[in-house]
C-alpha cells in the first residue's frame, strides 16, 4: 500500500474537511481531528492546549508550523464506490405484454421480479386447436423460467397472484398460487420503483345468471383441456343405451355464446373435429350433432372488415353451423339457455349439451381497485 505524507495548512484542512463520502476512513479521521482542534482554539495558548498528546504537537512542530497529516491517496483512489442501488422493476403477468416487455428489458440494469400465477407463456391463438387435440397443450406454452434462461435474463419469478397494488407505498401484495401447503405463509409483499401491470383481462359474464356455473371459457390452456374432455364426454353420454333421440340431440348440441374471433375460431375447430374425427368414431349418433353460435349483434365478427364477416357467415352456413344473430343470452341453466330476441323481445329456451361463453372480457378486480386508488374512472362493463 502506498502511503503519502502531506503537509497541510490549517486553512487547507478546513477546505478539505467536507468529506466526499460519509465513510470515516483513516484520512478523514485525522483531518477531522485537526479541524476540530483548530476550530476549538481562538488563542495561541489554547492552540497548544488543543494538542492532546505530545505526538500531536511534535507533528505540528516538525512540519514548520503547518499541520502534518497523512493521506493514503492510493487507498482513496482504489476505494471502490459502492454500486448504486439497482432500481426495482416488478412485472405482473407472463402473458403477451409481460413477456414482450421482459424480452426487451436489460435485466442487468435492474432488479427484476415477475409475479404470475402461470409459470409459462401461452400462445393464445392456438388455444382453439388445443380444444380439439389438433395441437397438444404442451406445444402452445413456453415455461417462463426457460425463456429467461435462454435469453440470459437475470430475473426472479414467483408463482403467485397479486391481489393488491399499493401505489402510495409502491408495493404489491401477493399470494402464492402453488397449493395450500404453506401454512398461511404464502402471502408476501414486494416493493418497486417501476411497476409493469400486464395482467390482461378476465372473462366478463355481464352478471348473466348461470354462466359461471354452467359455461366453459376459452382463455387459458386449462380451459382448452377441459373443453376437449367435455366434448368427448358428450359423445360418450349420448352413446349410452336407452337415451332418447331428443336427449341425444340435446347432449350433442354444442352452443357457442359470442360470435367474436374466439367463438368463431372455436366453432370452426369444433366443426372439423366433429366431421373429420368424432363422427367416424361415433357413427350411430353422428346425425344428432349440431353447432350453434348465438350472437347479440346482427353479424358475427362484427369488429372486423365486413367482407370477412360475410365470408365467415357463408362458410358456416355451408358447413351446417347455425347462426342465431340478434339474440341475447339472459340465463343459463344446467340443460338449457334462455335467449331473448332483441327485435321482438320473445324469450326462447335452447336445450344444450355443452356451452362455451366467449361473449366478452372485463377488468380484473385488482385493476379496478388500483384504478380507483389513482383516481381513474372505471367504465361500467355492461353489455
What is the rounded distance in angstroms from the CA atom of residue 168 to the CA atom of residue 165?
A: 9
Per rule CB under 6 A, is residue 92 in the interface with ligand FAD? yes
Per rule CB under 6 A, is residue 143 in the interface with ligand FAD? no
Quickly count: other Cβ atoms within 10 Å of residue 360's Cβ: 18
Candidate segments 36-44, 80-88, 195-203, 283-291, binder of ligand FAD by CB under 6 A: 195-203
Identify which of residues 269 and 313 has a Cβ nearer to ligand FAD in the complex: 269
- In this structure, the strands spanning 67-71 and 87-92 are unpaired
Quickly count: other Cβ atoms within 10 Å of residue 165's Cβ: 23
Secondary structure of residue 269 in the 3-state scheme: helix
Cα angle value 238/240/244 (rounded, 5°): 65
When CB distances to ligand FAD are compared, the closest residue is 95
Closest residue by Cα to residue 218 from 309, 122, 290: 122
What is the rounded distance in angstroms from the CA atom of residue 98 to the CA atom of residue 91?
A: 7
Per rule CB under 6 A, is residue 116 in the interface with ligand FAD? yes
Identify which of residues 195 and 199 has a Cβ nearer to ligand FAD in the complex: 199
Question: Is the four-CA dihedral 220, 338, 259, 238 of positive or negative sign?
Answer: positive
What is the rounded distance in angstroms from the CA atom of residue 235 to the CA atom of residue 240?
A: 9
Bridge partners for 329 per DSSP: 339
| Subset of residues 196 to 255 that bind ligand FAD, contact rule: CB under 6 A | 198-200, 218-219
Candidate segments 29-37, 89-97, 289-297, 318-326, binder of ligand FAD by CB under 6 A: 89-97
Identify which of residues 65 and 125 has a Cβ nearer to ligand FAD in the complex: 125
Figure out which of the listed residues 19, 125, 167, 320 binds ligand FAD, where binding follows CB under 6 A. Answer: 125
| Subset of residues 34 to 73 that bind ligand FAD, contact rule: CB under 6 A | none
Provide the mask over 296-335, with x wherever binding to ligand FAD is found by CB under 6 A and - wherever it is not: ----------------------------------------
Figure out which of the listed residues 97, 141, 232, 275 binds ligand FAD, where binding follows CB under 6 A. Answer: 97
In the DSSP assignment, the letter for residue 16 is H
Instruction: Give residues in contact with ligand FAD (CB under 6 A).
Output: 92-98, 115-118, 124-125, 127-128, 161-162, 198-200, 218-219, 262, 364, 366
Amino acid at each position: 500500500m502506498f502511503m503519502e505524507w502531506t503537509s497541510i495548512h490549517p486553512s487547507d484542512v478546513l477546505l478539505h474537511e467536507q468529506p466526499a463520502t460519509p465513510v470515516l476512513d483513516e484520512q478523514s479521521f485525522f483531518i477531522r481531528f485537526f479541524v476540530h482542534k483548530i476550530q476549538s482554539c481562538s488563542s495561541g495558548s489554547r492552540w497548544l492546549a488543543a494538542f492532546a498528546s505530545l505526538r500531536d504537537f511534535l507533528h505540528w512542530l516538525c512540519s514548520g508550523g503547518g499541520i502534518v497529516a497523512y493521506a493514503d491517496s492510493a487507498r482513496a483512489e482504489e476505494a471502490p464506490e459502492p454500486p448504486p442501488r439497482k432500481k426495482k422493476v416488478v412485472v405482473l403477468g407472463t402473458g403477451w405484454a409481460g413477456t414482450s416487455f421482459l424480452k426487451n428489458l436489460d435485466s442487468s440494469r435492474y432488479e427484476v421480479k415477475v409475479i404470475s400465477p402461470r409459470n409459462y407463456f401461452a400462445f393464445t391463438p392456438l388455444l382453439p386447436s388445443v380444444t380439439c387435440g389438433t395441437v397438444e397443450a404442451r406445444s402452445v406454452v413456453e415455461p417462463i423460467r426457460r425463456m429467461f434462461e435462454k435469453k440470459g435474463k437475470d430475473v426472479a419469478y414467483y408463482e403467485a397472484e397479486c391481489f393488491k397494488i399499493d401505489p402510495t407505498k409502491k408495493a404489491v401484495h401477493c399470494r402464492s398460487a402453488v397449493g395450500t401447503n404453506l401454512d398461511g405463509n404464502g402471502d408476501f409483499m414486494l416493493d418497486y420503483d417501476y411497476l409493469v401491470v400486464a395482467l390482461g383481462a378476465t372473462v366478463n359474464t355481464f352478471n348473466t345468471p348461470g354462466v359461471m356455473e354452467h359455461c366453459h371459457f376459452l382463455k387459458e390452456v386449462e380451459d382448452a383441456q377441459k373443453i376437449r374432455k367435455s366434448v368427448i364426454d358428450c359423445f360418450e353420454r349420448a352413446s349410452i343405451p336407452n337415451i332418447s333421440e331428443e336427449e341425444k340431440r340435446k347432449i350433442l348440441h354444442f352452443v357457442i355464446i359470442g360470435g367474436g374471433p374466439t367463438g368463431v375460431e372455436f366453432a370452426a375447430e369444433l366443426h372439423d373435429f366433429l366431421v373429420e374425427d368424432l363422427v367416424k368414431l361415433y357413427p350411430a349418433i353422428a346425425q344428432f350433432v349440431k353447432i350453434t353460435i348465438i350472437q347479440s349483434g346482427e353479424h358475427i365478427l362484427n369488429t372486423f372488415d365486413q367482407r370477412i364477416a360475410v365470408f365467415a357467415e357463408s362458410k358456416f352456413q355451408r358447413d351446417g353451423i347455425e347462426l342465431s344473430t340478434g339474440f341475447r343470452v339472459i340465463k343459463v341453466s344446467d340443460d338449457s339457455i334462455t335467449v331473448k330476441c332483441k327485435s321482438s323481445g320473445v324469450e326462447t329456451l335452447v336445450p344444450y349439451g355443452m356451452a362455451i361463453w366467449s361473449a366478452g372480457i372485463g377488468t380484473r378486480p385488482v385493476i379496478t381497485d388500483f384504478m380507483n386508488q389513482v383516481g381513474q374512472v372505471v367504465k361500467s362493463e355492461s353489455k
